[in-house]
Chains A and B, each alone.
Chain A
Amino acid sequence: MEILLEGVGYSYAEDTPFEKRALTDVDLHIPSGSYTAIIGHTGSGKSTILQHLNALLKPTEGVVTIGDRKIEAGVKAKDLRKIRRQVGIVFQFPEQQLFDETVLKDIMFGPLNFGVPAEEAERRARELVVQLGLPEDVLEKSPFDLSGGQMRRVAIAGVLAMEPEVLVLDEPTAGLDPRGRQEIMDLFHELHLTKKLTTILVTHSMEDAARYADRVAIMHKGRCVVTGEPAAIFSNEEQLGDYSLQPPRSVQFQRDFEKRTGLLLDSVSLTEEALAKNIAAALSKGSDDR
């Protein structure tokens, strides 16, 4: 499902003395089936954009088009249920939103609310628990008896249970241990591919943006200043610096290596694996050439 932001502006507490502008003239095209990473320094407007993607916030200027629905500034938007079902948002620290007596009930809550029959909702919950790497006996437990990492997975299952077409992820792995982080990011990537989702990842991790995304948008002071492919975005260190961002660690190391040895790698190394291969290739080519 495609999402299009055209000339979108947003001010919190508009027309009050507390008015605070968060977004200015944002144009952003998220093609159907793309994996878009939105990066930017703290306070750049990332979280405000995210809330426009399923009409939790309505623009105070411009138009947001979500699939075939238009949300326009100044026009009252009715019946947003369909959008809310189609666009699932995994907020930061989603485990804070767990509330039900058992994990099963908590995961089923969303689908039931959207009219999915109980039997089907339960089937989805059982399947998701396994997919998220939780033990099956977790379903009958209270979500509050679980560890932090398990609670996170339950909360994510609750969003996935609605079978959204667009999945919006706001720092989904913050606070998880390294393995948990990788497992969850890999799972989102797999779902993105197998369910042909449109995925939007809001993140501080340049490493995740470089590894998983096929498009990157940079937010700066409430504006979307650059969009492009990860290789182009992350090889332009000067531009990243202008927006107080750093390239992923693998790219930083690539530059250090290139400076020290005078060897240039074939391409920008978006992952550690790519970096290792590029360095190995450059070293063997370098010694052949002499």
Chain B
Amino acid sequence: MNLDILSFENVTFTYDTEDGTVLPAVAKVSFAIQPGEWVALVGHNGSGKSTIAKLMNGLLFPQEGSVKVMGHTMSEETLWNIRSQMGMVFQNPDNQFVGATVQDDVAFALENNGVPHAEMVERVHEALHQVKMADYKDHEPHHLSGGQKQRVAIAGALAMRPKLLILDEATSMLDPQGRMEVIETIRRLRESTGLTVISITHDLEEAALAGRMIVMNEGHKHVEGAPKDVFKRGDELTGMGLDLPFAMRMTHLLQEAGVGLQEEHMTEDKLVDELWKYYSKA
């Protein structure tokens, strides 16, 4: 029995370009996501992340291999059924609003799918509550901050009660506060509902919160694993245009400056701790 909520099996995709160059955007990529996981898909610009997102929701179909969602192979026939079970939040919060008020916007997909009015009201309320935007239900989306807009977009996805939520660079256009709001919302949602989340990002601080990271490089899957294991690859990641969490960068810089730290630290707290111990022992 296949328990994967989403899987890529040997997927290859190449874009047609005018000058006929053929470099696959995604080459023989395989991975599987189990229910309840939070997986971060990271990679530099042009690494194939966006193409993978489009393959996940059927905007593109693989030329080789297959994409399966909840046991169904993605195709023209299964597409609509599959999409109704996944929510997607995109990069630009301004490009995904259709409603005149926050609640109209969250209700949009429900209305389109013919959900009865009473149930719709309930679901909209619940979804807005989950992202802590219930107080804003009558506001115009365009007057919200970036972080609030993305939370409303998440509510719109949640109202459809998806099995899987995909965030495609959903924090990359936000200011630091907006980014925090969205990450906090995802964290809370995961705690309360156990929703499966795939976040496509190059914010490594965001990726560090996920249970598993998949690192893409030039169209290939480079490595996957728990963030703390993946980050051990230090220079290998920076060489691919990625970054390390702040505490790890500082650990390396301090070592270069002659501070004899023993461990690599993922968080600031632990790094300050070791510095304090180092100082007290010196």
Closest Cβ of chain A to B178, distance in Å, is 7
In the bound complex, do residue B254 and residue A276 qualify as a contact, i.e. CB atoms below 8 Å apart?
yes
Max chain A Cβ within 10 angstroms of own Cβ: one of B145, B176, B243, B279: B279
Whether A286 lies near B268 (C-beta < 8 A) is: no
Chain B residues bordering chain A, tally (CB within 8 A): 43
A69-119 contacts to B, CB under 8 A, are: none
Question: Given A175-B173, A253-B246, A261-B276, do A276 and B253 touch, yes or no (CB 8 Å)?
Answer: yes
Name which residue of chain A comes closest to B18, CB basis: A142
Query: With the chains together, A37 CA to B253 CA distance in Å?
Result: 26
Q: A175-B91, A261-B275, A261-B279 in contact; A148/B46 too (CB < 8 A)?
A: yes
Q: Is A279 positioned at the interface, with any CB of B under 8 Å from its CB?
A: yes
Contact (A178, B146) CB under 8 Å given A140-B19, A260-B276: no
A284 to B275, CA, bound (A): 12
**A240 on the interface (CB 8 Å rule)?**
no
Judge whether B114 is part of the interface by a CB distance below 8 angstroms.
no
A225 on interface, CB distance cutoff 8 Å: no
Q: Which residue of B lies closest to A287 (CB)?
A: B282
Is A41 among interface residues, defined by CB-CB distance under 8 A? Answer: yes
Question: A15 contacts the other chain (Cβ, under 8 Å)?
Answer: no
Is residue B197 contacting chain A, with contact meaning CB distance below 8 A?
Answer: no
Tell whether B258 is near chain A: CB-to-CB under 8 Å: yes
> Does B279 lie within 8 Å of A147, measured CB to CB?
no
Q: Which single residue of chain B is at the shortest CB-CB distance from A43?
A: B145
- A175 contacts across to B, CB distance below 8 A: 91, 169, 172-173
Given A145-B19, A147-B46, is A276 in contact with B256 using a C-beta cutoff of 8 Å? yes
Q: Which residue of B lies closest to A101 (CB)?
A: B18
Q: Are B45 and A174 in contact (CB under 8 A)?
A: no
Kindly supply a per-residue 1/0 record for chain B positions 13-26, scoring 1 wherever the CB is within 8 Å of any chain A CB and 0 otherwise: 00101110000000
In the complex, chain A residues whose CB is within 8 Å of the CB of B249: 272
Does A149 make an interface contact (CB < 8 A)? yes
Q: Which of chain B's residues 33-54 have a Cβ closer than 8 Å to chain A?
A: 43-46, 50
> Residue B257 contacts which of A178, A256, A263, A279 (CB distance < 8 angstroms)?
A279
Give chain A residues whose Cβ lies under 8 Å from the Cβ of B176. 204-205, 246
Contact of B45 among A180, A204, A263 (CB under 8 A): A180
B259 x A279 contact (CB < 8 A): yes
Verify if A266 is at the interface (C-beta below 8 Å from B): no
Point out the residues of chain B lying under 8 angstroms from A140, CB to CB. 19
For A180, list chain B residues within 8 Å (CB): 44-45, 241
Asked if B31 lies at the interface with its beta carbon under 8 angstroms from chain A, I say no
Q: Mark B74-118, 1 if CB is under 8 A from A, else 0.
A: 000000000000000001000000000000000000000000000
Residue of B nearest to A150 (CB): B46
* Residues of chain A lying within 8 A (CB to CB) of residue B257: 276-277, 279-280
Contact B242 A179 (CB under 8 A): yes
Distance of B215 from chain A, by nearest CB (Å): 12
Given A261-B279, A287-B282, check contact A177 B202 (CB 8 Å): yes
CA–CA, A263 and B276, complex, Å: 10
9 A-B residue pairs with CB within 8 Å? A147-B45, A177-B202, A180-B45, A180-B241, A253-B246, A256-B272, A276-B250, A276-B253, A277-B257
